[in-house]
Amino acid sequence: MGIKKKCVAMLLAGGQGSRLGALTAYVAKPAVSFGGKYKIIDFSLSNCIGSGIDTVGVLTQYRPMLLNSYIGTGEAWDLNETGGGVHILPPYLRQGGGEWYKGTANAVFQNLDFISSHDPEQVLILSGDHIYTMQYNKMLSFHVENKADITISVMEVPWEDAHRFGILTAAEDGRITSFSEKPQQPESNLASMGIYIFNAGLLENALTEDEDDPSSSKDFGHDVIPRLLNQGKSLYAYRFSGYWKDVGTIESYYSANMELLQENPPFNIFDRKVRILSNSNIFPPQYIWPEARVENSLICNGCSVKGTVINSILSPDVRIEEGSSVIDSIILPGTRIGRDCTLRKAIVGENTLVGKDSFLGVPSEGGGAPPQQGITVVADSMALAEGTRVAEGENVNLA
Amino acid sequence: MDEAMGLICANYNTEQLGALTEYRPLASLPFGGRYRMIDFVLSNMVNAGIRTVGVVTPYMYRSLLDHLGAGKYWFLDRKLGGLFILPGSIYGFKNMSTQFLVKDMIRNLDYLTRDSKDYVIVTTANQVYNMDYGSLVELHAKSGADVTLVYKGENPAQWEKGIFLDLNFEKRITKMVRVSPGAARDDNLPSALFADCFVISRQQFVDLVGWYQAVDHMDFLDVLSENLGNLHIYGHEFTGYLSRVDSIDSYLKCSMETLLPKNHEELFFGKRPIYTKIRDGVPTRYAASANVTNALIPNECTIRGHVENSILFPGVLVEHDAVIKNSVIMQRSIVGRNTLVENVIADKFVTIGDGAIIMGSNDHPLVLRKKSAM
């Protein structure tokens, strides 16, 4: 056993993110690219190392291959520590069988031995699918100062969105008085961000108790937190004010990406004080050909642009051939756009080939708003034939 | 292929690069948007499966060691083999022009004798090319030659110095002619020019170096030249793109050449990547006012102006109504509003203030010193 750890993080990265549709056909949501060169999980991992947390268990389940290889030894986030570091924790068999993770609480329950092997004072529960920067160490100090059993990170959300979150009410000093998951009639607009700090002993007891409850859905927000509140444990709300986004739908994913094109984006990754680490491959600098035109866009290393790119984001290793126009679009890593293509408001997945003369985002002829706010999505690893036409708001996916 | 080890002789400098190499060795001179000169040979070795590389460090090696670290980005932070930093000798003038100094090999003989690889591939660090060293070593091993020298068959016009090789019909080298910088042009020179890279058996290398211990100020190439009759020294022509940086003019010229699609594809987009230290930078932002044509641009830049036939480095800011042509702008330099920058090499952290017009000529580019403000 190593040195006693103050805090170990458990990062829930097993979710499919099914509302991202074609984008999560082959990868888990935390492994989806964001902002050109990042993957969604980069934000949580960077926050961990930025907060001095050097031991992180990453709970994977859905389509883990890319996530596993992306995280590797954790060295890209300086998390390749002896006696700590990143540990990928998939569900596993044990004597008497084994099972998939049945919910967030069950996933952590199945890995209690990982936590106890580090013997921490606190456990930080995170979800790997949010875009934000946060100093968890400040939340940890708040937790310790209040002698809390559990601290939940919260932020104010617009009232009309409150029903989508775990909503809680807190007294002046931060002590939580009530909590309800996705309430029909929210009595406050303080939303849980799905970030919890538990005292380690309490977490073990709470999860064991939850496991034994046949009526529980094994979810932190649904089951564990309400039960602990009822039991009179001291739960505190840590108020976070900053950028935090759940890019759980195509529409929110698209708009969160596109916000980065603003002169002063609400989430300013370009601020040198914000250090988001990622597992970058070595690609050559971008090559902007003589015939190319690039305006109001983000472009990453390894790209080669011969066509026109306007209001768009090109991830690493993307090639845009001559005569093509990429407008209001997001192209994920390794994708090739052939000659004379037109892309309007499209998201094209990783390692996809778009054959020449294709048109993604063909305006719909009939009246009425197109589905998905008109955002066209092509899944990862597709090969679109020459002259493919996809109507706006459509999803192209083999499955 | 695991029977070769590498030796990069970077203990070499030149005054011809002026302010660019005032505080850094030529080996760590930034090049090509995100690389340092040494990255090319180092990547060539790593791409050939070589995992034991020694680098003979030059004078003022802080920036070189900062770049190489423990060799992590070239997969050389290893238990077996890895990156070996070999201190080079410092004597006489700081700008020593001997490239393969025998003294440097003698002083680091342990590096060569402790390993058991069959061959050593020896290079300098001032050339830009992407070569399959694996086939080179294979070919050398098969040929039975003692030494194989890599050469460029047709001397590119700008190479007026170096070692010219006479080869017979079977590519055995019969004569080596060293031409010093500034020497009068001799039209009778052979056309093949030594490309600062050779393969030799490790044991023979150790022996030869040992025999010349008494005259250790010699260049190892002159040792070979003295032994053309005794040793089987053959040439191997490299037919790809290769250029040498040894002056301010050649730096800009070579930079501009990498912007040609053919060279660019060959150097950077082929099967063998060029590795370098990774900076975890944000994507580059092109504003609505950006106008970029024929340019190599790495991550972390912000471009609001016009960039044409130029190479930028990470973190460069190009303001509104700035015009940059035929120039190289290094890391985190700032080009202000309403500026015109042409035929300029701006070193790191240079600030070009609003309204400035800074122009060099094609043959004589202007170098802006590191951290200077215009």
Contact B293 A270 (CB under 8 A): no
* CA distances from residue A28 to A19, A256, A262 in whole angstroms, order as listed: 12, 18, 28
Q: What is the pLDDT of residue A134?
A: 96
The answer on pLDDT for B8 being more than 90 is yes
Q: Is the pLDDT of residue B121 over 70?
A: yes
CATH 2.160.10.10 placement within chain B: 285-368
Please tell me which residue of chain B has the smallest CA distance to A76.
B280
DSSP A372: G
Three-state SS at B7: strand
Domain at B285-368, CATH class: mainly beta
Q: Where in chain B is the domain with CATH 3.90.550.10?
A: 4-268
Residue B97: pLDDT above 90? no
Written as tens digits, the pLDDT of chain A (399 aa) is: 445 679 999 999 987 778 888 888 888 899 999 999 999 999 999 999 999 999 999 999 988 888 999 999 999 999 988 888 999 999 988 888 888 899 999 999 999 999 999 999 999 999 988 999 999 999 999 999 999 999 999 999 999 888 888 999 999 899 999 999 888 988 899 999 999 999 999 999 999 999 999 999 999 999 999 999 999 999 999 999 999 998 889 999 999 999 999 999 999 999 888 889 999 888 999 999 999 999 999 999 999 999 999 999 999 999 999 999 999 999 999 999 999 999 999 999 999 999 999 999 999 887 778 888 999 999 999 999 999 999 999 999 875
Q: What are phi and psi of A260, to 5 degrees?
A: -65, -15
pLDDT digits (tens, 9 = 90+) for B37-66: 999 999 999 999 999 999 999 878 899 999
Q: Which of A277, A288, A310 to mutate to test the interface with B (most CBs of B within 10 A)?
A: A288
**CB within 8 Å: B296 and A282:** no
Contact B34 A297 (CB under 8 A): no
pLDDT at residue B19 greater than cutoff 80: yes
Please, what sign has the CA dihedral across residues B249, B47, B241, B306? negative
Tokens of A76: 């890209």
d(CA B21, CA B11): 13
User: Hey, which residues does B39 pair with through a beta bridge?
Assistant: none
B2: pLDDT strictly greater than 60: no
Chosen for mutation from A294, A314, A327, A331 (greatest number of chain B CBs closer than 10 Å) is: A294
Contact B185, B157 (CB under 8 A): no
Map residue A255 onto helix, strand or coil. helix
Q: Model confidence over B235-285: pLDDT tens digits?
A: 999 999 999 998 999 999 999 999 999 999 999 988 999 999 998 899 999
- Would the pLDDT of B15 be above 90? no
- Judged against a pLDDT cut of 70, whether residue B96 lies above it is answered with no
Q: Phi first, then psi: what are they for A389, rounded to 5°? A: -125, 125
Class of domain B4-268: alpha beta
**Cβ proximity of B309 and B295 under 8 Å:** yes
Give the closest-approach CA distance of A124 to chain B in angstroms. 26
B261-268 vs B248-258: helix axis angle to the nearest 10? 90
Which chain A residues are Cβ-neighbours of B278 within 8 angstroms? Answer: 280, 282
In this prediction the pTM is 0.93
pLDDT at position B95: 47
Average pLDDT over residues B346-357: 96
**How close does chain A come to B2, measured CA to CA in Å?**
24
Collect all residues with Cβ–Cβ distance below 8 Å to A140 and sequence separation of at least 6: A6, A7, A51, A122, A124, A197
What is the model's pLDDT at position B35? Answer: 97
Task: Categorize the per-residue pLDDT at B321 as very low, low, confident or very high, splitting at 50, 70 and 90.
Answer: very high
Chain B residue at shortest CA distance from A35? B283
**Average pLDDT of every residue of chain B:** 92
Contacts of A294 in chain B (CB under 8 A): 286, 290, 292
* Interchain pair B274, A282: CB under 8 A: yes
Query: Does residue A32 belong to the interface with chain B, where contact is any CB pair within 8 Å?
Result: no
Task: Please state the rounded mean pLDDT for residues B69-89.
Answer: 93
Predicted confidence at residue B92, as pLDDT, reads 56
Using DSSP's 3-state secondary structure scheme, residue B139 falls into helix
Q: Give the SS3 label for residue A132.
A: strand
- Euclidean distance between CA atoms B134 and B333, whole angstroms: 38
Give pLDDT, residue B374.
Answer: 84
Q: Which of B275, B285, B312 to mutate to test the interface with A (most CBs of A within 10 A)?
A: B285
CA distances (Å), origin B242, targets A12, B76, B283, B353: 50, 25, 30, 36
